[in-house]
Amino acid sequence: MKSGHTTPEEALRVLADVRGLHLVPIHWGTFDLAEEPLEEPPARLLAEARRLDLDAKRVWVLKHGETRRW
């Protein structure tokens, strides 16, 4: 999956590199294609965001079917 995806930690580096305002991970937990549990990537993303002291308002891990306005 590496050629078309980033790790949660890489995604936050990309956010910093492009000076993005928000990060919204998409299609996590949709397909069981990897070895890790389905809930692991969003948990790692939020843990890394906390470690980097990012404002929680910048990283939006939405529940399946949830919407949010910009």
> Which of 4-13, 28-37, 46-55 has the largest mean confidence?
46-55
- Contact residues for 1 (Cβ-Cβ < 8 A; gap 6+): 33, 34
CA distances to 4, 15, 21, 24, 53 from 50, in Å = 25, 14, 16, 16, 5
The secondary structure of 25-61 as a DSSP string is --STTSS--SSS-TTHHHHHHHHHHHHTT--GGGB--
pLDDT digits (tens, 9 = 90+) for 13-42: 999 999 999 999 988 888 888 888 989 999
Q: What is the pLDDT of residue 26?
A: 87
| Alpha carbons 28 and 37: distance in angstroms, whole number | 11
Q: What is the pLDDT of residue 64?
A: 86
